[in-house]
Amino acid sequence: MRLVARAGAPLACFVALTACSGGLEPTSDPVTVQGIPVATKQPAPAVPSLIADDAAPIPLDQIPGYTAADGERAMTGSSGAFRWSLIGENDPDTPVSFGGAGTYSAVPGVLTFRGDNHRSQPAYGTAHVVDKKLSIVWTHPITAVQAFGGTWSGAGWTGQPLLVQWPEETKTAMGLAEQYVSDPEFTEVLYPVFGGVIHRLDLATGAVTKPAIEGSCPFKGTGSVDPRGYPLLYAGQGLPDRNGVSCPWRYRIFDLILNREVAGWAGADPDSPRSGWGAFDSSALVHAASDHLLVGGENGLIYKAKLNASFDAAAGTVSVDPTLTKVRFSAPNSSRHGIESSIAAYRNIFFTQDNDGVLAAWDATTLTNIWARSVDDDGDATVLVEPFENGIGASLYVGNEIDHRGSAGVTNLRKIDALTGELLWQVDVESVYDSNTNGGLVASPMLGRGQAAGLVIFNVAKTSGYAGALIAVDTASGEVRWRRDLPAYSWSSPVGIMADDGSQYAVFCDYAGLMHLFDPATGAELDSISLGGNIESSPAAFGNMIVVANYSLNIYGIKLS
């Protein structure tokens, strides 16, 4: 992704975009989608001898077509070798295998980017929806920062808030006010932003729950809260200076009792294949049972950290002392290196996608590679995992940007078998090349549920000029079911919100500063609300409340009614 500070849209363009924003309707004819989905393949046969336990690791020798390899294997779908090596002492005897939907966190909320290890649940709980309207309930001011030769306003990509309904003992240990400790519905917003601070707010009112944590360096991506309910927050640094003061690159871990940084590691890593850039936009996954954290670095390394974390609620103390194992890798097309997307995981298999367009699957226990394939261009959008309903296995939904290929490229939206790396279908969408602001898929895909079940929705940026498109694809066939052309492109990931009547609503935000409410089954606009400035950040939702920040220097609490 091109890293360019922008204060917002040019005024003439912004006025034109907002003037067109009311009552947007989906187009009925998806003829501007280029190409035809490839012939749909059947999913690989289920691994034969595993019990249907969502958290059971999949033995690598039972994966169809898998062959053991020691640091090198052939690329899937193209020629050349994929190579990797480990740095540090990995523990190959402690299983790292994530569970199914709803099992990632022991506490209610959205505790990492897109909510879970499948990167599929950026909304928690259900909403009671009657009016199908959005309204601003509260705002909280945030700041701009001068960094890296420009002004970075408010919050940017991916910039999703974290929403946590803490256990009572954790609230007490953190020293929260009695009104929050005694309220079982209290949910805290934790929001790292460009200003280099982590804001702590009450989801219901926007009131400050504790003073903002001074992180000292700007945050651009999305943090993660420890899913065990430990008062620990993990957040990587996004920019190398703050208002002219140099910030050494660092992945940072914060104690939410002491309200300060207590651990971390340098992004300017001597083992990195990329020099001069050590940011962390990726949002970590924490595997609670084994006490490990997985995160990708823009320096080109994958980090597996043994956290050595403990929490004593009665004593009001939490501790963490990470030890690192690093994975360094390369493909025939590797040149830029760097992982900006967030790691996704299915059981013991996790997935990375990088700036060179290398999509790879890894065993989280041994850190051996399972397969790797090229997706033809920069892949910043986080992979979406959809487990098979019957049998063992999963599908991946991915897409690329228009970057390395320049004006010759189109955006490729793909479904890939998670166990084998085989392509199941592909839809090609026209997009434009912009050397400053990437077009293509920058937002992470969203799965339809309820009345939209069987759809995956992609938010494609810059299909022409400042325009974009929402595209809903049939998950089984790869057929485009609907397309909605947008006057303002979007890097913000769409969020599906389940209502208590079983229907699904969805929101997305755009470059013109609008949050849109739409029906994911049809793409039809239900409502929109202006937040006053470019929204690159992705929202998160808890019940009826939605939170997002943007370039207009505010965090917004928005109610879906």
State the Cα–Cα distance between residues 117 and 106, nearest whole angstrom: 13
HSE-CB of 32 using CA atoms within 13 angstroms: 15
Q: What is the pLDDT along the chain (561 residues), one digit of tens a residue?
A: 544 444 443 323 333 333 333 333 444 333 334 444 555 666 666 666 666 688 899 999 999 999 999 999 999 999 999 999 999 999 999 999 999 889 999 999 999 999 999 999 999 999 999 999 999 999 999 999 999 889 999 999 999 999 999 999 999 999 999 999 999 999 999 999 999 999 999 999 999 999 999 988 999 999 999 999 999 999 999 999 999 999 999 999 999 999 999 999 999 999 999 999 999 999 999 999 999 999 999 999 999 999 999 999 999 999 999 999 999 999 999 999 999 999 999 999 999 999 999 999 999 999 999 999 999 999 999 999 999 987 789 999 999 999 999 998 899 999 999 999 999 999 999 999 998 899 999 999 999 999 999 999 999 999 999 999 999 999 999 999 999 999 999 999 999 999 999 999 999 999 999 999 999 999 999 999 999 999 999 999 999 999 999 999 999 999 999
What pLDDT, on a 0 to 100 scale, did the predictor assign at position 39?
52
d(CA 3, CA 527): 32
In this structure, is residue 6 part of a structural domain?
no
Q: Which of 313, 220, 211, 317 is nearest to 259 (CA)?
A: 211
Amino acid at site 203: L
HSE, CB side, 13 Å, CA atoms: give it for residue 365. Answer: 16
- In a domain, residue 41? The reply is yes
* Cα–Cα distance measured from residue 80 to residue 102, given in angstroms and rounded to the nearest whole number: 39
Pairing outcome for strands 358-363 and 394-399: unpaired
Question: How many domains is the chain partitioned into structurally?
Answer: 1
Residue 4 within a domain: no
Specify the long-range contacts of residues 18-22, CB closer than 8 Å, at least 24 apart: 18/512, 18/513, 18/514, 18/530, 20/487, 21/487, 21/488, 21/512, 21/514, 21/528, 21/530, 22/528
Residue 43 lies in a domain: yes
Q: Can you name the residues that pair with 540 across neighbouring β-strands?
A: 547
Domain assignment of residue 1, yes or no = no
Q: The domain spanning residue 530 has which CATH number?
A: 2.130.10.10
Distances, alpha carbon 239 to alpha carbons 107, 256, 380, 382, 553, in Å? 31, 23, 17, 20, 18
Burial class (CB in 10 A: 0-12, 13-18, 19+), 211: exposed
Task: Measure Cα distances from 77 to 63, 73, 119, 477 in Å.
Answer: 17, 12, 25, 20
**In whole angstroms, what is the distance from residue 91 CA to residue 366 CA?**
7
Whether 118 is in a domain gets the answer yes
Q: What is the pTM of this model?
A: 0.94
Range of the domain at 272: 11-560
Residue 138 counted as domain residue: yes
Using CA atoms, how far apart are residues 373 and 77, in angstroms rounded to an integer?
A: 6
pLDDT at 23: 36
Distance (Å, whole) CA 514 – CA 529: 6
Is residue 177 assigned to a domain?
yes
pLDDT for the residue 48: 61
Evaluate whether 544 touches 128 at the Cβ level (below 8 Å).
Answer: yes
The C-alpha atoms of residue 560 and residue 545 are separated, in whole angstroms, by 6
Q: Is 169 helix (H, G, I), strand (E, B) or coil?
A: helix
